[in-house]
Amino acid sequence: FLGLTALSASAATEMPPLPDVTGDTVKADGDFEIKFSIGTTESGAQYRGLEYFEKIVEQRSDGHIQVALFPGAQLGDDRQATSALQAGTLEMTMPSTSPLVNMFPKFAVFDLPFLFPKPEMADAVLDGEIGQQMLDDASSKGLVAIGWGENGYRQLTNSQHPVEKPADLEGLKIRTMENELHLDIWRTLGANPTPMSFAELFTALEQGVVDGQENPWITIESSKFNEVQDYATETNHVYTPFITLVSARFWDRLPEEYQQLLRDAATKMGDYQRHVSRTLNDQIKQDLKDSGMQITELTPEQVKLFQDKLEPVYQDWRDEIGGELIDDIRAQVQQAQAQ
């Protein structure tokens, strides 16, 4: 028993230390409580970011704002948590942009396959004018959007066999996020996709309702998907952002000084979370290999087979998303690549 405990403790991912809090104490009237809910678990990079947010907000408000963290979809999946913000029964959440495309259609641009060849290119877009415009647009419908974070590059896992080329996907039942463009991606590749919330995913994989799913390495490990999925392919097919949302009902009750504090803390959380996610990515891929997962790393030629097959998706979604936005982002990416 003791041996087993030691083993699982040593296998746990070592998180980078939380940075010190900088900035002055913010003085304003009133005491506030923030319940902050996410779908991923306590051992993920997203949660580590939330811990930093909590530390900043509690220290700089001198304890007048208390933050309570609820990981693992305890208070609902991404869409349920977002509705709770609108209803004013939950203060904060940080969903992937993908399940919110039904509310904010332009978010679908981030679901386009192979849009960002490098994470820094996603940063440039999200931290630039386009990202700010999207935060402004999403600050409506009972929500206030105050920052971006990183979910990251998505990798395919499945329980059946190694996947090296699109033809290997034939007939595989793949869970996708609740998002039409993701369904289109997997149909175009020849798989049989089913949309489902993240909260239902582990059980669906365990019971064989679906054969596979796709998420960043850190989520695959922190949600223990490797315990029910023997095969993985490093596809990097989509880069998913997280968006930090606050309930407008709560926001409107906050003094301006505290609103500014939350904005600062959300920006710092996003930067730190990107750092954690990027620092741990390769190490976690190795941990998954060590745990017995068979990971296929694709050659550039193999990646191109997936890219070529998915090129029509850009045409299919052009009108829906807006050609100008897609062209703007692709131009920024090309410019960054040339540098």
Give the tokens for residue 2.
Answer: 């003791």
Between 39 and 131, name the residue whose CB sits nearer to ligand KDG.
39
Q: Which residue is nearest to ligand KDG (CB)?
A: 39
Give the tokens for residue 278.
Answer: 């990027």
Closest approach, Cβ 126 to ligand KDG, in A, equals: 16
Closest approach, Cβ 133 to ligand KDG, in A, equals: 22
Closest approach, Cβ 215 to ligand KDG, in A, equals: 5
Between 122 and 177, name the residue whose CB sits nearer to ligand KDG.
177
Between 78 and 211, name the residue whose CB sits nearer to ligand KDG.
78
Residue type, 324: E
Between 254 and 293, name the residue whose CB sits nearer to ligand KDG.
293
The answer to whether 317 and 108 have CB atoms below 8 angstroms apart is yes
Closest approach, Cβ 9 to ligand KDG, in A, equals: 25
83, burial (CB in 10 Å: exposed 0-12, middle 13-18, buried 19+): middle
> What single string gives the DSSP state of each residue in 37-50?
E-SS-TTSHHHHHH
Between 26 and 135, name the residue whose CB sits nearer to ligand KDG.
135
Residue whose token pair is 């960054």: 336
Residues 194, 172: Cα–Cα separation, whole Å:
10
Between 61 and 97, name the residue whose CB sits nearer to ligand KDG.
97
Closest approach, Cβ 145 to ligand KDG, in A, equals: 15
Between 42 and 328, name the residue whose CB sits nearer to ligand KDG.
42
Closest approach, Cβ 298 to ligand KDG, in A, equals: 21
Closest approach, Cβ 263 to ligand KDG, in A, equals: 20
Between 131 and 241, name the residue whose CB sits nearer to ligand KDG.
241
CA torsion, ordered 75, 81, 84, 89, to nearest 10 deg: 40
Residues 173, 214: Cα–Cα separation, whole Å:
12
> What single string gives the DSSP state of each residue in 201-238?
HHHHHHTTSSSEEEE-HHHHHHTTGGGT--EEEE----
Closest approach, Cβ 238 to ligand KDG, in A, equals: 10
Residue whose token pair is 């005491």: 31
Burial track 136-170 (b if 16+ CB lie within 10 A, e otherwise):
eebbeebbbbbbbbbbbbbbbbbbeeebeebebbe
Closest approach, Cβ 138 to ligand KDG, in A, equals: 15
CA angle 330, 109, 180 (to 5 degrees): 140
Sheet holding 143-153, edge to edge: 65-70, 32-37, 92-93, 239-247, 143-153
Between 95 and 212, name the residue whose CB sits nearer to ligand KDG.
95
Of 183, 201, 204, give the one whose Cα is nearest residue 193.
183
Binding site for ligand KDG (CB under 6 A): 38-40, 46, 78, 95-96, 151, 177, 198, 215, 240
